[in-house]
Structure 1
Amino acid sequence: MPGMAGSLQQPQILEHTSKSLSVTIYDTKWVPSSARFVVLGSHPRNSGCIQVYELGGTEINKLTEAEKQHSFKCGTFGASSLTQRHLATGDFDGNLNVWDLDRLGTPLYHAKAHSSIVNAIDGCGGLGVGRGAPEIVTCGRDGRVCVWDTRQKDDPVACFEPATSDSTRDCWAVSFGNAYEENERCVLAGYDNGDVKLFDLRTGTVRYETTLQNGVCAVDFDRKDIPMNKFAATTLESRFHVFDARTQHATKGMASLSEKQAHGSTIWGVRHLPQNREVFMTLGGDGSLALYKYSYPEKRTAKEEDGSVSGVIGSVNMLASRTVASQPISCFDWSPDKEGLAVFGSFDQSIRVGIVTKLHKV
């Protein structure tokens, strides 16, 4: 049939295996350099749940489980070494904890990070990704964005918070980036009113800010360990945005594009493929996944009439999409080791392991 050969070369999103759970799933994370993954969430009695599973063929086998006082919202391995593989978590009571997955009784590190729920967390400087100290960033309903070095007790090494209580906005998303040398690192944050802020940790200042039309559910740099290249943000009402962060004009800011997905629901998250920074997955509120590729323009900068230089944005192309759940996809994590392998959870209380094929042809 005409066009069939071309369609067969496109990536496909396949469900490899799945497992129904009795908990609400808020985050899933691959344990680096292993076939294991972690599920973080909440029991029906509102206690916290850490579960560790192992993928064996088409079987998902539970290895260990721990129940804690407060429900877990988010987790990261990004500040840990490949040898230790310690998991940092944020919970609904505002706590930051770091856990040894083999000894889940007592956390290795604890800090009261926020006055209420920790909405998002990210790590950098561990796993051989990103230069500089191993650090964790958290954001919360209290509007604060805090950076933590677990070698130092109690207080964050940096904190960005609202100037007044009247200006407090719920911060929903954070991501590290620009960690290409020892003294450079930035944090990207997204807020419930649509604000996007880029904090420079070297200078302790806001390096860039803009406002999108809807609340920002997720932000993600294409890579943490390179000079700023581009990042994505997803919002309520089915929109995602891609920013070219290489060039920032004094008045025009960063060049960007905006796309609206047809499902019309919230885009809960975005994750760039570890093996190809131009490819990313978005998580739909209708239970769908959508795979995109970013293409650069012929020239990434343009000279303005006054002699200044502004950025030029490229374009995005959807490579594949598939509805995989009856409820929103709440979390998604690419395997750092095997290209195309992913684990994701949804609010139908199921975890799924998926495979995206033909990524090497993209």
Structure 2
Amino acid sequence: VQFISFLVDFCSFAGNQSPPFEMSSPLSKPQVIAHIQKSLNYTVFDSKWIPCSAKFVCLGNFPRGTGVIQIYELQHGEAQLIKEVEKPKPLKCGTFGATSLQQRHLATGDFDGNLNIWNLESPEVPVYTAKAHKEIVNSIDGVGGLGIGDGAPEIVTGSRDGTVKVWDPRQKDLPVANMEPVEGETKRDCWTVAFGHAFNDEDRCVCAGYDNGDIKLFDLRNMSLRWETNIKNGVCCVEFDRKDIDMNKLVATSLEGKFHVFDMRTQHPVKGFASVSEKVSNLGKDFDSNYGKNHKSSL
């Protein structure tokens, strides 16, 4: 009887109190906690984890106008610089997507339109080089390497010159595909490229985003434009949820802090792929208000 009376009193007390184990406000929201911070004396344009290692590479340019590749390794809670190589031209972007796990070669695009592939064990001289574009290479992606995606290893580059080109590292100088505006059409600045739909040896697609809000999906098997749309603001980044499956989801982020998710398996003959768009600052109470404020300009 005393035990039951205690439970009744406790429940009555608890009913008039706030939950004793309620999470504090800061912990109830998603957080990104900085593990390591390091100040650098140059502008970083891209960084990538080196596959199957505790190392990462940073690409950028020095104030004097030259490029730099830095390799860091995580040691005892710190990022230790283990190698630095200066290059004649600033480096804009890089990918490991077309290399094997054994070689782990890094492909980069620079401000002069060059495509280079580097052996990070001896990065002084590229193992592959090509004059890919007339202007800066804004974006690069790879497929067929690291055990991701069927078919030959390939690299795609997008440039300010308005072209999107696909490269086979086994073929020197010439791209295997070149997507450019028809004669007389305005050349738009291509900001981002991504591979997808590489689920067998024959099928493969490239998605490209442009400064005017255009998104174009190129079918490399049929060498045709499969689909296009416009999201009104410059497209900062496009990415498939997975490269090595039949196209499923495509996300595109843009200026004004917006993102768009397309269902690539639900296509209307007139309206195109089903999609949803949202502004980061409108995602609701589950996100820190400061997070939305930090992304009003671009994503």
CA contact under 8 A between 1:54 and 1:61: conserved in structure 2? Answer: yes
1:24 corresponds to:
43
2:116 corresponds to:
97
Residues 322/155 of structure 1: CA separation in 2 closer, same or farther (3 Å cut): farther
Query: Shift of residue 261 of structure 1?
Result: 2.1
Does the alignment pair 1:154 with 2:173?
Answer: yes
2:172 alignment partner AA: K
2:217 corresponds to:
198
Residues 188/33 of structure 1: CA separation in 2 closer, same or farther (3 Å cut): same
Name which of 39, 49, 57 aligns with 2:76. 57
Q: CA RMSD in A?
A: 2.4
Query: Number of paired residues?
Result: 276
CA distance in 2, matches of 1:158, 1:151: 14
In the superposition, the TM-score normalised over structure 2's length comes to 0.87
What is the percentage of aligned positions where both structures have the same residue? Answer: 57
What SS does the aligned partner of 1:255 have?
A: strand
Does the alignment pair 1:247 with 2:266?
Answer: yes
Name which of 162, 170, 177 aligns with 2:196. 177
Greater alpha carbon shift after TM alignment, 59-68 vs 157-166: 157-166
Residues 238/185 of structure 1: CA separation in 2 closer, same or farther (3 Å cut): same
Query: Shift of residue 224 of structure 1?
Result: 0.4
1:337 corresponds to:
none
Query: Shift of residue 262 of structure 1?
Result: 2.5
Query: Shift of residue 56 of structure 1?
Result: 1.6
CA contact under 8 A between 1:89 and 1:97: conserved in structure 2? Answer: yes
Query: Shift of residue 134 of structure 1?
Result: 0.3
Matches within 5 A, 1:62-211: 62-211=81-230
CA contact under 8 A between 2:49 and 2:56: conserved in structure 1? Answer: yes
Residues 246/89 of structure 1: CA separation in 2 closer, same or farther (3 Å cut): same
What SS does the aligned partner of 2:267 have?
A: coil
Matches within 5 A, 1:289-300: none
CA contact under 8 A between 1:230 and 1:245: conserved in structure 2? Answer: yes
What SS does the aligned partner of 1:173 have?
A: strand
CA distance in 2, matches of 1:128, 1:247: 28
Q: Determine which structure has the larger strand proportion and give its number.
A: 1
In the superposition, the TM-score normalised over structure 1's length comes to 0.72
CA distance in 2, matches of 1:165, 1:87: 36
What is the CA deviation profile of residues 235-278 of structure 1, one whole-angstrom value per residue up to 9, with x for unaligned ones?
11111110000122211100111111229xxxxxxxxxxxxxxx
2:122 alignment partner AA: R
CA distance in 2, matches of 1:212, 1:243: 12
Which stretches in structure 2 are left out of the alignment for 5+ residues? 1-17
Query: Shift of residue 105 of structure 1?
Result: 1.3
CA contact under 8 A between 1:90 and 1:97: conserved in structure 2? Answer: yes
Name which of 251, 274, 277 aligns with 1:258. 277
1:4 corresponds to:
22
What SS does the aligned partner of 1:237 have?
A: helix
Residues 22/242 of structure 1: CA separation in 2 closer, same or farther (3 Å cut): same
CA distance in 1, matches of 2:193, 2:181: 16
What SS does the aligned partner of 1:262 have?
A: helix
Which stretches in structure 1 are left out of the alignment for 5+ residues? 264-315, 333-362
Residues 322/71 of structure 1: CA separation in 2 closer, same or farther (3 Å cut): farther
CA distance in 1, matches of 2:285, 2:177: 38
Matches within 5 A, 1:192-341: 192-262=211-281
CA distance in 2, matches of 1:323, 1:23: 27
CA contact under 8 A between 1:175 and 1:189: conserved in structure 2? Answer: yes
CA contact under 8 A between 1:95 and 1:110: conserved in structure 2? Answer: yes
CA distance in 1, matches of 2:137, 2:149: 23
Q: Determine which structure has the larger helix proportion and give its number.
A: 2
Residues 139/71 of structure 1: CA separation in 2 closer, same or farther (3 Å cut): same
1:151 alignment partner AA: R
Name which of 36, 39, 46 aligns with 2:65. 46
CA contact under 8 A between 2:30 and 2:288: conserved in structure 1? Answer: no
1:301 corresponds to:
none
What SS does the aligned partner of 2:191 have?
A: strand
The structure with higher relative contact order (CA 8 Å, sep 6+) is 1
